[in-house]
Amino acid sequence: MYARILAGPHSTGKPETKNPTWEQIENAIRRMDRQELSLVLLGHAKDSPYMAIGGGYDEERETNPQLFICCVTDPDLSNHTLIDPSKGVEQVYVVTGGQEGDFPARMAVSLELVLRAARAFAERGELTPSLHWVHD
């Protein structure tokens, strides 16, 4: 497993989990609720890429109640953002890290896409090539 640190939504009060299993990572992502639990970080070591996932379930959103923003940041601080090219550029509100923000709709991805991306990154430290990423 590439991911050695899981930081994010814990009701136990522990700020991070060392050497997490995929089940712990998936559970953390599924528990994201946009209020108390709105950010998950996956990392390996200092000066290595890390993945940040924000968002979660929003009971007020009638269509697509689960939306996530998923970015991988390289040590040089360049970012790779997961997108859904079937969506447009209209703005949607997503809470990440406790703060609401406007994002282009194509950056607000489904639970299915974020889980696929998180699993590949957690297990191998890779961006899933079958998914769409924008580099900035």
Q: What is the pLDDT along the chain (136 residues), one digit of tens a residue?
A: 889 988 876 444 557 889 999 999 999 999 998 777 889 999 988 888 999 999 998 777 666 678 999 999 988 889 999 999 999 989 998 888 888 899 999 999 999 999 999 999 999 999 999 999 999 8
Specify the DSSP class assigned to residue 33.
B
115 belongs to a structural domain = yes
pLDDT of residue 11: 46
Let me know if 4 is exposed, middle or buried by CB neighbors in 10 A (0-12, 13-18, 19+): middle
28 belongs to a structural domain = yes
pLDDT of residue 66: 87
- Give every CB contact of residue 116 below 8 A, 6+ residues apart in sequence: 128, 130, 131
- Could you list the residue range(s) of the whole structural domain that residue 95 is in? 20-78+85-120
3 belongs to a structural domain = no
pLDDT of residue 84: 97
133 belongs to a structural domain = no
5 belongs to a structural domain = no
Please count the structural domains in the chain.
1
Distance CA 44, CA 30 (A): 21
pLDDT of residue 61: 65
12 belongs to a structural domain = no
pLDDT of residue 12: 47
pLDDT of residue 62: 62
- pTM comes to 0.91
Structure tokens belonging to residue 105: 């709709």
pLDDT of residue 88: 92
7 belongs to a structural domain = no
30 belongs to a structural domain = yes
113: β partners:
none
